[in-house]
Amino acid sequence: MDITVVLTSPNPYGSRTLTIEADRTSSVAYLRDARGIVHGAVWLANHVPAPAEDDPARVGAGLPPVLPANRTTRPQGTPPLDPAALSVLWFEEGDGVALYENGELLAVIPSWADLDRGLPGYARDAVGESPYAWSLAEALEGLAPRVAKARAYWQWRQAEGSWATFQQFVLGHLDGRLGPPGRYWDVGGDRLPLVGVSERPPTFTRDYTVLSTVGMSCQRMPTAEMYDTACRVELALATRQDPRVAARLFSWLGQYPWRSVTWLGHGHTARWFQKPVTFPLGGGHEGVLMLMDPPGLPDMSGFMFGGDVVRWLWLLPLTDAELRLVAEHGHRAVTERLTLTSRI
């Protein structure tokens, strides 16, 4: 039986796509990455009377699942979904999505949905918990505020002047923490998330330049909420080298969480994606370690956005051997014997 693609909707960052597929029997929604790998899925509706039991053979044949009669509020089935009646609301992070039918919440696929672990999305017409859908009604107390926050965020983000206002908030904070600004570079390439780099030249209290991203904290990082960690960050680098060259690190990492649907945090490392000799900071380094509040560098605390504390992750360049040491023994294996200022 032929499967029809009812709707496709990429997230604002281009890293996930919601796809709704249907045949004459049922409809299902999938959350896929750029490679087509499914990261979340949820049954949406039966379009024929529900069977008495599960039909796993359908899924095995690559067809949309069907819920049995005791797992749906509409056992007689519903008409096929009308694409014109559907609308999509992506979460701020881009890792979850809400689907509406005629303005009514039809389904939610959150960031933690994973069919392989038995965690499907939530559907309006589902009852209880099944391998293909959990009841949306039973989870609405927790999901409704999450969905409302996503709607409020995108309404604000799409309003005229929102980005300029956010920029000024961050730049004003940097003025107070790092002194007068120097140059400013756009490293986002006119795609979301927008990210710039602010240069803060040396002052009478420091003999090095500080570079900071401006824009990463404008949206929460994907999956961070599942790890009880800072969900909004900016990156910073202290350097005595050419700031224009050093800023290439931010072109590399500034949009990374949303492109790769992950998060950056204290103690994380990242290996340079090109040949080691092209690493912007040279010196035999091949990647970076990210640290919050390292001793000896400016205090960046005191900035909040969207009700969340924003944390700055300082980049410490590491050699190949140091990157492997951190991978095996944790970041303290390096930070206990090195200081950030020794790498400026």
pLDDT digits (tens, 9 = 90+) for 264-320: 999 999 999 999 999 999 889 999 999 999 989 999 999 999 999 999 999 999 999
- If you average pLDDT over residues 36-48, what whole number do you get? 93
For residue 13, the 8-state DSSP code is T
pLDDT score of 60:
86
What is the per-residue DSSP string for 97-147?
EEEEETTEEEEEE-TT-BGGGTB--EETTB-SB-SS-EEHHHHHHHHHHHH
Q: Does pLDDT of 187 surpass 70?
A: yes
pLDDT band at 338 (very low <50, low <70, confident <90, very high): low
Lowest mean pLDDT among 48-57, 303-312, 334-343: 334-343
- If you average pLDDT over residues 229-253, what whole number do you get? 96
- If you average pLDDT over residues 199-225, what whole number do you get? 96
Residue type (1 letter), 94? G
Mean pLDDT rounded to a whole number for the chain: 94
pLDDT score of 114:
85
State how far the Cα of 230 lies from the Cα of 61, in Å rounded to an integer: 42
For residue 153, the 8-state DSSP code is H
Residues in contact with 295: Cβ distance below 8 Å, sequence separation at least 6, in sequence order: 339
145-171 burial string, b = 16+ CB within 10 Å, else e? ebbeebeebeeebeeeeeeeebbebbe
pLDDT score of 99:
98
The β-bridge relationship of strands 134-135 and 122-123 is parallel
Lowest mean pLDDT among 112-121, 214-223, 243-252, 330-339: 330-339
pLDDT score of 144:
96
pLDDT band at 34 (very low <50, low <70, confident <90, very high): confident
For residue 301, the 8-state DSSP code is -
pLDDT score of 117:
83
Q: Does pLDDT of 135 surpass 70?
A: yes
Q: Does pLDDT of 336 surpass 90?
A: no
Q: Which residues lie across from 86 on neighbouring strands?
A: 101
CA 165 vs CA 10, 169, 215, 247: distances in Å: 27, 6, 11, 23
- If you average pLDDT over residues 218-226, what whole number do you get? 94
Tokens for 89? 């609301």
Question: Which residue in 110, 114, 112, 243 sits closest to 123, CA to CA?
Answer: 110
Tokens for 206? 């420091």
pLDDT score of 72:
97
Q: Does pLDDT of 175 surpass 90?
A: yes
pLDDT band at 208 (very low <50, low <70, confident <90, very high): very high
Structural domain spans, the chain: 4-158, 162-342
Tokens for 159? 């309003």
pLDDT score of 279:
95
Angle at 106 between CA 36 and CA 55, to 5 degrees: 65
Please give the order of strands across the beta sheet that includes 97-101.
86-90, 97-101, 104-109, 122-123, 134-135
What is the per-residue DSSP string for 14-69?
SSEEEEEEE-SSEEEEEEEETT--EEEEEEEEESSPPPSS--HHHHHTTPPP---G
pLDDT score of 342:
61
pLDDT band at 122 (very low <50, low <70, confident <90, very high): very high
State how far the Cα of 200 lies from the Cα of 198, in Å rounded to an integer: 7
Please state, for a pLDDT cut of 70, what percent of the chain lies above it.
98
Tokens for 82? 């009308």
Asked whether the whole model's pTM tops 0.85, one would answer: yes
pLDDT band at 246 (very low <50, low <70, confident <90, very high): very high
Q: Outline where 190-341 has alpha helix (H).
A: 243-246, 248-253, 256-260, 320-329, 332-335
Question: Which residue in 224, 244, 242 sits closest to 232, CA to CA?
Answer: 224
pLDDT score of 313:
98
Integer-rounded Cα Rg, in Å, for the chain is: 24
Residues in contact with 258: Cβ distance below 8 Å, sequence separation at least 6, in sequence order: 13, 15, 93, 94, 192, 193, 219, 221, 222
Q: Does pLDDT of 193 surpass 80?
A: yes
pLDDT band at 340 (very low <50, low <70, confident <90, very high): low
Please state, for a pLDDT cut of 90, what percent of the chain lies above it.
85
Tokens for 71? 């797992």
State how far the Cα of 237 lies from the Cα of 287, in Å rounded to an integer: 13
pLDDT digits (tens, 9 = 90+) for 55-98: 888 888 889 999 999 999 999 999 999 999 999 999 999 999 99
Residue identified by tokens 């420091």 is 206
Contact criterion met (CB below 8 Å) for 105 and 136: yes
